[in-house]
Structure formats: structure tokens, C-alpha cells
Amino acid sequence: MKKIKRAAHKRRDVEKKAREPLSPPPVADTAVAKPPIDERAGAAIRRGRLERSLTLNDLASAANISVPMLSRFENGQSTASLIMLERICSALGTDLSTLFREIEQTSGTAQLIKSTDQMEVVRSGTKHGHTYRLLSYHRGPRKAFEPFLIKMDKDSESYPRFQHPGTEFIYMLSGRMEYRFGDRTFRIEPGDAFTFSGNVLHGPEKLLDDHIQFITIIIYTE
């Protein structure tokens, strides 16, 4: 009797887990830490110098500072005063505000989703035979964009039409198709890139090969 009860409990646990919604797999989504400001300022100065094809001697001479001092600034080994930074910026033909903006642009986030962790998701085209693999997960309150890897074949029941806010971008990986955009039809082949307004009715018109595969990115606007 105890064995029967244990088996029943085990079966209920399995059925309960099967009903639970799938959650996104772990994603390497980390904030990129800022290097010290001396290093960021030095890197910005070095980029500016190299973009102008200047040597250390050229910039040091124009800014009226020594070459060793400029080298220490660029390598983040020494802190440049505002007066020094202003002289360096002037020699580079820029200003302090531009330099500071570039220094602040080094922060951000990065996300890596391994191919084995990319989820197949349900979209409006799923019931028509489209397979969607989500290539990025956005965890904020508002999505900026959605990238998908889409696979289709000629066994699809039909080719639905889509309409949504924002802009859509398609990059064809394999196979060929005719794609409807409003009252126009475009032939898309491997390597082709197609960008269009999402608010105009659109969707595949005809598959020219048995199997096709493409990446689509929907960029949402305010």
C-alpha cells in the first residue's frame, strides 16, 4: 500500500512540473564595470591622438607638455588636471565636454546567450508553421527590440500577415521567398537585408525553396 501511495505522489509531482510554465534559462547578462576615470580619460585621449595620426611627440609638443607626462596620462598612471586636459583637448581640436561625454560612454551592459540556451517561443505565426528562436531577452519594463531566428518550410498551413509598431529588419540566411509589404512584393534571397515599417501589413507571400531561414529584428519606437 505504501508503495502505491509513493507512486501516486510521484506521478502527481511529475504532472505538476509538466504544467508549470517554462522560465527563461540563465543568461550571461552583466553590467560592464567602469574602469577608473584616469584610465577612461587616458584611453579617450589616446584614441583621439591615433584617429588624427599623431605621435606622442606631436601631441605633447602641441599641448606644451612633456612626452613622459602625456604617456602617463594615456596609460592611466597619472591624473591630468583640468588645465592639462583643456590644453590636450585644444591640441586635438576638441573640447572638454566632448572628452567627458566619450569618457562616460564606456559603461553599458552585455548579454551572451549560448546556442543551447536560446528559447523557442510562441508568436502569432507559430500556428502557421513558423519556428521562432528568441536571440535576446530584455528584462526591463519596456522592450527596445526583439531579435528572432525564424525557420519556415513549404508545409506551413498558410502565410499570415503581421502588423505592429516600430521598424522591422530581416536578414536572409538560407532559402528564398517573396515577401509582401502593403501592395508591393519583394524577392528576398540569402545575404539580402530588408528593412520596413512594422505598421504596414506585411508577411511572407510565397516560399521559393522547401526550407528558409532568416533573422528578423523588431525595433520598437516610443
CATH superfamily of 37-108: lambda repressor-like DNA-binding domains (1.10.260.40)
Query: Could you read off the pLDDT tens digit of each residue along the chain, which spans 222 residues?
Result: 544 445 445 445 544 443 444 445 555 555 556 678 888 889 889 988 998 889 999 999 999 999 999 999 999 888 888 999 999 999 999 888 888 888 877 556 778 888 888 888 887 777 777 888 888 877 666 778 889 999 998 877 677 899 999 999 999 999 999 999 999 999 999 999 999 999 999 999 999 999 999 999 999 875
DSSP summary character for residue 129: T
Cell numbers linked to 203: 508577411
- Output the pLDDT for position 30: 55
CA distance 170 to 217: 7
Position of cell 504596414? 200
The counts of H helices and E strands in the chain are 6, 11
- Output the pLDDT for position 187: 97
CATH 2.60.120.10 fits 118-219, yes or no: yes
- Output the pLDDT for position 128: 73
CA distance 164 to 112: 27
Residue of 151, 130, 150, 142 lying closest to 217 (CA atoms): 150
- Output the pLDDT for position 101: 83
Cell numbers linked to 127: 500556428
Q: Where are the domains of the chain?
A: 37-108, 118-219
CA distance 50 to 39: 16
152 CB-contact burial (10 Å; exposed 0-12 / middle 13-18 / buried 19+): buried
If you compute the radius of gyration of the chain from its CA atoms, what whole number of angstroms results?
27
CA distance 196 to 198: 6
8 A C-beta contact, residue 186 and residue 178: yes
Say what the pTM is: 0.54
